[in-house]
């Protein structure tokens, strides 16, 4: 974008004087006190706070078991381990996600198989999943993109027919529902992320929820170096001090400090979700009449938790490309982003042999989307500024 174009939009002055990020944590005094209490206690890691946090997550989503990890990526890695992914196995997933989704397959020696999205919902296409299942397929990793649940009736039906494991990357979807049921107990294993821009935060952190005891036991083992002290699992015993490393695991433990923050944040989750939904509704109402954009579609039987609000540009009605719109909004001090670059575009994946053209719908989507700021601590002025900036920039560049 040329500088004179920028000035022509602004009239010399941006909508905002200060920068508004696309996402941000909301920490209050209760959160701080919860962390301080743990810091003053005897256990700042491997203590009882982690167990209480896991139990609270399980109760919230309706799953029997939860296992907390140091990050969402660690949790996905553990889920692939528990699923038995190994060299020679293929795992079907979507490219419209953060790289950690498919990286977790690579960590276990498996091969990610990227399939296209539904062009209306932007979610993994069950039809495309079905077209790519073969004798090497071991699992499906769905992604609840922006908070919208995948089509689990169809996905789970395919999994049952072909004896596949379904791992739900629900990093965006804590609090989302599918046909009235909370995400977290529908798939075989579900991952939630607690990164600062997510619905609740533990700083860094993640969790796997499941109803399967065998998966639960493997997850517990994997996050602690593959080591167990459980007398029922030991091959022998030298005494009460004895433990065994039974598989090659990792140090993926969450600390009690993180868990305390997570527990405190859980108390406000429903309020956070309501605020996200309110902001999303305001955006949709303001933007649905703009001819150069498409607002997110109503998923009907699915309730999004609105991790992200993604506008899709109609470039045929704009005289510039997405990059120019992006830069113009940032010059209005609106912290827009793009979610996501198709995973197989990254140089590492290209070295593995993945090429552009694999998923045409996902690639077209990538070229036209912009993520707007959306987080619970946004003020009404913040929301109004985003709306004003979008209307201002698109109004200037529309054909």
Instruction: Tell me which residue range forms the domain holding 62.
Output: 29-266
pLDDT tens digits for range 122-177: 999 999 999 999 999 999 999 999 999 999 999 999 999 999 999 999 999 999 99
What local confidence, expressed as pLDDT, does residue 342 receive?
Answer: 98
Give yes or no: residues 303 and 360 share one domain: yes
223: CATH: 3.40.640.10
Higher pLDDT, residue 51 or 4 = 51
Domain boundary, last residue among 266, 283, 316: 266
Instruction: Pull the structure tokens for residue 340.
Output: 């996501």
Question: Are residues 284 and 254 part of one domain?
Answer: no
- From the list 198, 218, 275, 392, the catalytic residue is 198
* Same domain (yes/no): 257, 289: no
Q: Say if residue 84 is in the same domain as residue 215.
A: yes
What integer pLDDT is reported at residue 6 of this predicted model? 55
pLDDT attached to residue 12: 72
pTM: 0.96
Is 228 in the same domain as 154?
yes
Instruction: Report the chain's mean pLDDT, rounded to a whole number.
Output: 96
Give me the number of domains the chain comprises: 2
Residues 201 and 348 in one domain: no
Over residues 80-115, the pLDDT tens digits come to: 999 999 999 999 999 999 999 999 999 999 999 999
Asked, as a colleague might, if the bond just before 125 is cis with ω within 30 of 0, I would say: no
Task: Please report the pLDDT score of residue 3 as a whole number.
Answer: 45
Q: What is the pLDDT of residue 10?
A: 57
Is 351 a known active-site residue? no
> 369-389 pLDDT, tens per residue?
999 999 999 999 999 999 999
What per-residue confidence (pLDDT) applies to 46?
A: 95
CA gap 362, 375 in Å, rounded? 25
**Residue 11: is its pLDDT beyond 70?**
no
**What percent of the chain shows pLDDT beyond 90?**
96
> With bands split at pLDDT 50, 70 and 90, how would you rate the model's confidence at 19?
very high
Which of 239, 266, 293 terminates a domain? The answer is 266
Question: What letters, b where the CB count within 10 A reaches 16 and e where it falls short, cover 349-367?
Answer: beeeebeeebbebbbebbe
Q: What is the pLDDT of residues 265-291, one digit of tens each?
A: 999 999 999 999 999 999 999 999 999
* CATH code of 388's domain: 3.90.1150.10
Domain shared by 79 and 153, yes or no: yes
Pair (277, 157) in one structural domain: no
pLDDT category at 319 given cuts 50, 70, 90 is very high
Same domain, 363 and 391: yes
Is the domain of 336 the same as that of 224?
A: no
pLDDT of 304 > 90? The answer is: yes
Q: What percent of the chain has a predicted confidence (pLDDT) above 70?
A: 97
- Same domain? For 195 and 329 the reply is no
pLDDT value at position 123? 98
Q: Which of 208, 240, 266 is the last residue of a domain?
A: 266
Residue 4: pLDDT above 60? no
Q: How many CB atoms sit inside 10 A of residue 329's CB? A: 24
pLDDT (tens digit per residue) in 198-222: 999 999 999 999 999 999 999 999 9
Whether residue 298 is found in the same domain as residue 206: no
User: In the predicted model, what is the mean pLDDT of residues 228-248?
Assistant: 95
């Amino acid at each position: 974008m040329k500088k004179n174009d920028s000035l022509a939009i602004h009239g010399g002055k941006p909508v905002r004087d200060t920068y508004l990020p696309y996402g941000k944590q909301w920490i209050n005094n209760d959160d701080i006190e919860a962390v301080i209490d743990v810091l003053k206690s005897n256990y700042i890691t491997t203590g009882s706070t982690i167990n209480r946090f896991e139990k609270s997550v399980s109760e919230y989503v309706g799953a029997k078991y939860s296992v907390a990890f140091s990050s969402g990526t660690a949790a996905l890695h553990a889920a692939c381990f528990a699923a038995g992914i190994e060299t020679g196995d293929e795992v079907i997933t979507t490219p419209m996600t953060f790289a950690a989704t498919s990286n977790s397959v690579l960590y276990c020696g498996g091969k990610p198989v990227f399939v296209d999205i539904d062009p209306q919902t932007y979610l993994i296409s069950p039809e495309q999943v079905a077209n790519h299942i073969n004798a090497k397929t071991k699992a499906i990793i769905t992604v609840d993109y922006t908070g919208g649940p995948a089509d689990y009736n169809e996905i789970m039906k395919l999994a049952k027919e072909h004896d596949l494991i379904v791992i739900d990357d629900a990093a965006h979807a804590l609090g989302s529902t599918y046909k009235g049921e909370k995400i977290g107990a529908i798939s075989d294993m579900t991952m939630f992320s607690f990164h600062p821009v997510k619905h609740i935060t533990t700083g860094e952190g993640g969790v796997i929820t499941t109803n399967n005891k065998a998966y639960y036991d493997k997850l517990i083992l994997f996050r602690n170096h593959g080591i167990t002290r459980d007398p029922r699992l030991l091959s022998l015993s030298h005494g009460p001090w004895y433990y065994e490393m039974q598989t090659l695991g990792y140090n993926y433990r969450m600390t009690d400090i993180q868990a305390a923050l997570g527990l405190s944040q859980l108390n406000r989750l429903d309020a956070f979700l309501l605020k996200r939904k309110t902001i999303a509704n305001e955006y949709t109402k303001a933007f649905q009449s703009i001819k150069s954009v498409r607002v997110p579609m109503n998923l009907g039987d699915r309730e999004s938790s609105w991790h992200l609000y993604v506008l899709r540009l109609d470039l045929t009605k704009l005289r510039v490309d997405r990059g120019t719109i992006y830069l113009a909004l940032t010059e209005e001090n609106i912290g827009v982003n793009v979610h996501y670059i198709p995973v197989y575009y990254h140089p590492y994946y290209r070295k593995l042999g993945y090429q552009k053209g694999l998923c045409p719908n996902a690639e077209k989507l990538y070229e036209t989307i912009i993520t707007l700021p959306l987080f619970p601590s946004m003020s009404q002025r913040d929301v109004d500024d985003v709306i004003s900036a979008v209307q201002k920039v698109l109004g200037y560049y529309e054909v």
